């Protein structure tokens, strides 16, 4: 059997020019470190197909090329062969000064640009997140780097870290990894994707803070990390995302106040901060979001009042303030929101009367004010809301006669007026609970 050493030339002249070694031996006994010291010009090393290795040392330089013959799907098997191999695979490719590239597989087709516009993972693609870091980076660089969109939602069936390798894909405009069993922190490298317009990481177990460098992703139109375990303060640097239309940080563990700087997001249409541990007042600066259509702040610990300036949100069609510690009177200016379809403010500590100006909200379908401390009579004007489906006013301190106008609301499905000791009614209709 011909040895690898027998193929190495002996002349110093040839040693300086040697740039490649290839062997087809099934058993290889080789000191890679010594070889590279003697042959510094090597740029390409193929070891195929080697099934039994006895490698005295495995230096960093080998990492870029050693598995050029290997199908990526089998990497998980091979990486168990040697502690030396296993340790080397944790090295980043850019730490190598000798080899030019790592070619992981000849069997993984590169998508064409047309395919890249709507791309879903192959089996190999979806497994690469389980590989060591060096393989992840190299695979991303050579097989995914031309992609414009990655939509792998519900495609990954095993726990994976949100790898920094995605930061290599600088042509990406959309990265969607919903319900992919992702865990770990948000890689700072992702913030280098300056062409990214859509980043959706919903329904994973990502944790830790959002990095302040997220404000550098200035092309973002949609940012959603709903249903994870992110914590800490909401970074004020989000205000730098001047093109942002949709922001969803709901169902996480964020603390602190809502940054007033979010009021600078003039293009924002939806703001979802529900189910966190946010405290403090609703910043009046949010009333500068003139394009806002949905504001969802439910299930936090917000306090203070609803800003009177809320009337500036002329495009608002939904507001959810349920389960907070908000207090004071509901401002009459809320009646100046012509497109409002739902006003949900159950389980707070609002006081005073229900403003009759609510009767001007002709598009309103849901008015939920249960479990507050509202007093006085139900405004007659509410009976003019012909599109109202749900009127939920139970567990307050309302009194007086229920307006007869409520009977003429043609769309009403549920009218819950229970647990208002001073309230009286001399009629009934379908859906009325008293």
- The answer as to whether 147 is a domain residue is no
Do both 202 and 313 map to the same domain? yes
In the predicted structure, residue 428 carries a pLDDT above the cut 50: yes
pLDDT at 115: 38
- CA–CA dist 9, 426 (Å, integer): 107
- Which of the residue ranges 29-33, 206-210, 216-220, 287-291 would you say has the lowest mean pLDDT? 29-33
Do both 390 and 262 map to the same domain? yes
pLDDT per residue over 116-133, tens digit each? 334 444 555 555 566 666
Do both 192 and 76 map to the same domain? no
Decide which of 95, 110, 142 is a domain's last residue: 95
pLDDT at 109: 37
- The answer as to whether 117 is a domain residue is no
- The answer as to whether 168 is a domain residue is no
- The answer as to whether 165 is a domain residue is no
Read off the pLDDT of each residue in 423-433 and give the average, rounded to a whole number.
Answer: 82
CA distances from 151 to 32, 142, 196, 337 (A): 41, 19, 13, 37
- The answer as to whether 242 is a domain residue is yes
Split into its structural domains, the chain has a count of 2
Decide which of 95, 127, 148 is a domain's last residue: 95
- The answer as to whether 408 is a domain residue is yes
Q: Let me know: does 188 contact 165? Beta carbons within 8 Å.
A: no
Do both 263 and 401 map to the same domain? yes
Do both 71 and 207 map to the same domain? no
Read off the pLDDT of each residue in 127-150 and give the average, rounded to a whole number.
Answer: 65
Closest CA to 313 of 297, 338, 336, 290: 290
Mean pLDDT computed over every residue of the chain: 77
Percent of the chain with pLDDT over 90: 52
CA distances from 11 to 18, 45, 194 (A): 11, 20, 51
8-state DSSP, 130: G
Read off the pLDDT of each residue in 183-189 and give the average, rounded to a whole number.
Answer: 88
pLDDT at 182: 84
- CA–CA dist 406, 355 (Å, integer): 16
Q: Find the radius of gyration of the CA atoms of the chain.
A: 31
pLDDT per residue over 326-340, tens digit each? 999 999 999 999 999
- CA–CA dist 133, 266 (Å, integer): 39
Do both 355 and 238 map to the same domain? yes
pLDDT at 37: 53
- CA–CA dist 108, 220 (Å, integer): 30
Do both 196 and 338 map to the same domain? yes
* Burial of residue 196 (number of CB atoms within 10 Å: 0-12, 13-18, 19+): buried
- CA–CA dist 401, 420 (Å, integer): 11
Place of tokens 């309230």: 423
pLDDT at 433: 81
- CA–CA dist 314, 337 (Å, integer): 5
- Which of the residue ranges 73-77, 150-154, 352-356 would you say has the lowest mean pLDDT? 73-77
Of residues 62 and 298, more confidently modeled: 298
pLDDT at 159: 57
- CA–CA dist 2, 248 (Å, integer): 63
- 3-class DSSP state of 156: coil
Do both 272 and 380 map to the same domain? yes
pLDDT at 161: 72
DSSP β-bridge partners for residue 278? 256
Confidence of residue 157 (pLDDT cuts 50, 70, 90): low
CA 288 to chain centre: 25
H/E segment holding residue 374: strand 373-376
Read off the pLDDT of each residue in 295-321 and give the average, rounded to a whole number.
Answer: 98
H/E segment holding residue 416: strand 414-416
Of residues 98 and 426, more confidently modeled: 426
Q: Let me know: does 262 contact 284? Beta carbons within 8 Å.
A: no
Domain CATH number, residue 364: 3.80.10.10
Decide which of 55, 75, 95 is a domain's last residue: 95
Domain region containing 325: 182-433
- The answer as to whether 110 is a domain residue is no
In the predicted structure, residue 79 carries a pLDDT above the cut 70: no
- The answer as to whether 107 is a domain residue is no
Contacts for 235 with CB less than 8 Å, ≥ 6 apart: 209, 210, 211, 212, 214, 215, 259
Read off the pLDDT of each residue in 90-116 and give the average, rounded to a whole number.
Answer: 34
């Amino acid at each position: 059997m011909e040895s690898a050493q027998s193929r190495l030339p002996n002349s110093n002249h040839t040693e300086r020019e040697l740039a490649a070694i290839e062997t087809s031996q099934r058993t290889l006994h080789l000191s890679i470190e010594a070889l590279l010291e003697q042959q510094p010009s090597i740029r390409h090393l193929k070891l195929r197909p080697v099934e039994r290795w006895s490698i005295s040392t495995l230096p960093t330089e080998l990492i870029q090329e050693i598995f050029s013959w290997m199908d990526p799907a089998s990497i998980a098997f091979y990486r168990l062969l040697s502690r030396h191999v296993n340790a080397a695979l944790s090295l980043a490719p850019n730490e190598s000064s000798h080899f030019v590239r790592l070619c992981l597989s000849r069997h993984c087709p590169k998508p064409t640009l047309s395919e890249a516009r709507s791309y879903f993972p192959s089996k190999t693609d979806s497994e690469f997140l389980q590989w060591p870091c060096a393989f992840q980076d190299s695979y991303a660089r050579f097989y995914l780097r031309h992609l414009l969109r990655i939509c792998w939602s519900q495609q990954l069936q095993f726990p994976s870290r949100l790898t920094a390798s995605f930061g290599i894909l600088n042509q990406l405009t959309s990265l969607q990894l919903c319900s992919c069993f992702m865990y770990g922190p948000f890689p700072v490298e992702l913030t280098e994707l300056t062409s990214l317009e859509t980043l959706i990481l919903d329904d994973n177990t990502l944790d830790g803070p959002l990095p302040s460098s997220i404000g550098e992703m200035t092309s973002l139109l949609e940012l959603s990390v709903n249903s994870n375990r992110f914590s800490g303060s909401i970074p004020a640097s989000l205000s730098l995302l001047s093109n942002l239309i949709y922001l969803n940080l709901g169902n996480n563990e964020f603390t602190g106040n809502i940054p007033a700087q979010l009021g600078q997001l003039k293009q924002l249409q939806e703001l979802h901060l529900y189910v966190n541990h946010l405290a403090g007042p609703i910043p009046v600066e949010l009333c500068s979001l003139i394009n806002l259509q949905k504001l969802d702040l439910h299930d936090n610990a917000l306090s203070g009042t609803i800003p009177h300036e809320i009337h500036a949100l002329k495009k608002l069609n939904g507001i959810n303030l349920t389960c907070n510690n908000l207090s004071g009177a509901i401002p009459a200016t809320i009646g100046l929101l012509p497109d409002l379809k739902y006003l949900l403010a159950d389980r707070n500590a609002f006081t005073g009367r229900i403003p009759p100006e609510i009767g001007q909200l002709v598009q309103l379908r849901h008015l939920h004010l249960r479990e507050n401390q509202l007093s006085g009579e139900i405004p007659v004007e509410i009976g003019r809301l012909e599109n109202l489906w749900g009127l939920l006013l139970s567990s307050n301190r309302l009194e007086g006669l229920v307006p007869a106008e409520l009977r003429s609301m043609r769309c009403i499905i549920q009218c819950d007026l229970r647990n208002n000791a001073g309230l009286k009614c001399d009629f009934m209709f379908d859906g009325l609970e008293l």
